[in-house]
Amino acid sequence: MQTISIVVPCYNEEENVRDFYDELMKNESFFEKNELVPEIIYVDDGSTDKTAAEVKKLASEDKHVHLISFTRNFGKEAGIYAGLSKSTGEYVALMDADLQDPPSLLPEMFEGMREGYDSVATRRVSRKGEPPIRSFFARRFYKLINRMSRTEIVDGARDFRLMTRRFVDAVLSMSEYNRFTKGIFSWVGFETKWIEYENVERLKGETKWSFWKLFIYAIDGIVAFTTAPLAIASFLGVLFCVLAFVLIIVTIIRKTLFGDPTSGWPSLVCIISLISGVQLFCLGIIGQYMAKTYMEVKNRPIYLVREEF
C-alpha cells in the first residue's frame, strides 16, 4: 500500500469542507484499485468561521483526515508550504477546498505518475465566469512575467497538482519567506505533464482574492522570480546621460552663436518633473527588492501552528 496525501488550504471554507471530502471519496474505487491510502490534510489558514470545527467533525468519522490550524491568516502560499511539510505520502495532491479543482481528475492525473512524470499539473483553458477586466490583466501579467523571467509561469495554470515525493521535497527545500508557488513549481524543474480542463466555478462561499490582492500578488511574483526591473534603472540612467550630453552641446553652440536670452523656464520645469518622476520610479523598484530582502533576512517562520493532528 502507498499513501496519497491530499493537501487542502482552507480560509473560511466551513461550507466546503464536507462537500470536498464527499466529492474526493467518490474516488474510493480508484484508491483501492491502485492500492492507495488517502491522507487528507486540511490547512486551516486562520479562518474566522467554523472551518476547523468542521474538519474535526470529519476527523472523528475518518482517521485519514488531518488538520493544521494556523494562529492567524498567513496566506495560501504559507498554507501550501505547511500542508506539503506535513504530508507523508509517496504522492501528494494539492487542491482547493471550493471544488474548483475537481477531484474526479485525480485518476487521469495518476496515469501521469505511472508514465513516470514527477508532477502532473492542471491548466484551465477558459476563464469562464471571471470578470473580463480580471482576465485581461491576468493575461497581461503572464505575458509580462514570462518576458522578464527565465522561469516559465504558465498562463491559466492552477495550483492543482499531483506530485511525487521527490518533487515535493524539492519544493520544500526552497524555504524562502516570499513564496510564489507558481514560480517555485516551475523553478524546481522535473518533467511536468499538463492536463487541461474547462474552468469550474466555485461551489459555495466567495473568492478570497480581490483585484487589489491579485495586483500585489502579481508584483510579488515578479519580484520573486526576476530581477529584470532593476535593470530598468540603469537603462534609464544611461538614456538620460546621453540625452543630457546632447543637450549640453546644443546649449553651448546656441549660446556662442545667438547669445543667451533668458527664456526656457517652462521647458526647464518639464525636464525637472520628468527626471524626478523617473528617479522616484526607479527608487520604488529598488525599494520593492529591498523590502523583500529585508523580510527574507528577518528569517521569520512562514507560519505558526495553533493546533495540529
Q: Which stretches of the chain bind ligand UDP, using CB under 6 A?
A: 9-11, 13, 45, 73, 75-76, 79, 96-98, 100, 202, 207-209
Q: Distances in Å between the alpha carbon of 23 and those of 57, 190, 269, 296?
A: 17, 30, 65, 39
Q: Give the integer Cα–Cα distance in Å for 68 and 39.
A: 13
Closest separation in Å from C-beta 105 to ligand UDP:
16
The answer to the question of residue 101 lying near Mg ion (CB under 5 A) is: no
**Nearest CB to ligand UDP, comparing residues 187 and 303:** 303
E runs forming strands in 129-225: 157-164, 192-197
Q: Give the integer Cα–Cα distance in Å for 98 and 10.
A: 9
Q: Give the integer Cα–Cα distance in Å for 44 and 306.
A: 10
Q: Quick one: what does residue 9 bind among Mg ion, ligand UDP, none, with the CB cut-off 5 to 8 Å set by partner type?
A: ligand UDP
Cell numbers representing residue 183 in the block? 514560480
Find out whether 39 and 66 touch, Cβ atoms under 8 Å: yes
**Nearest CB to Mg ion, comparing residues 111 and 130:** 130
Closest separation in Å from C-beta 282 to Mg ion:
37
Q: Which of 73, 100, 135, 178 binds Mg ion (CB under 5 A)?
A: 100
Closest separation in Å from C-beta 75 to ligand UDP:
5
Closest separation in Å from C-beta 124 to ligand UDP:
10
Grouping H, G, I as helix, E, B as strand and the rest as coil, residue 305 is: strand
**Nearest CB to ligand UDP, comparing residues 54 and 118:** 54
Closest separation in Å from C-beta 96 to ligand UDP:
4
**Nearest CB to ligand UDP, comparing residues 165 and 202:** 202
Residue count at the site for Mg ion (CB under 5 A)?
Answer: 3
Main-chain phi, psi angles of 202, to 5 degrees: -55, 140
Show the binding pattern over residues 168-207: x = contacts Mg ion (CB under 5 A), - = does not.
Answer: ----------------------------------x-----
Phi-psi region of 13 (alpha: psi -120 to 50; beta: other; left: phi over 0): alpha
Find out whether 100 and 130 touch, Cβ atoms under 8 Å: no
Closest separation in Å from C-beta 98 to Mg ion:
4
Q: Quick one: what does residue 309 bind among Mg ion, ligand UDP, none, with the CB cut-off 5 to 8 Å set by partner type?
A: none
Q: Which stretch binds Mg ion (CB under 5 A): 94-102, 141-149, 166-174, 298-306?
A: 94-102
List all residues 6 or more positions away from 92 whose beta carbon is below 8 Å from its beta carbon. Answer: 4, 5, 6, 7, 84, 162, 163, 164, 165, 168
Closest CA to 128 of 197, 201, 203: 201
Closest separation in Å from C-beta 207 to Mg ion:
6
Q: Quick one: what does residue 17 bind among ligand UDP, Mg ion, none, with the CB cut-off 5 to 8 Å set by partner type?
A: none
Find out whether 180 and 76 touch, Cβ atoms under 8 Å: no
By CB under 5 A, name the binding residues for Mg ion: 98, 100, 202
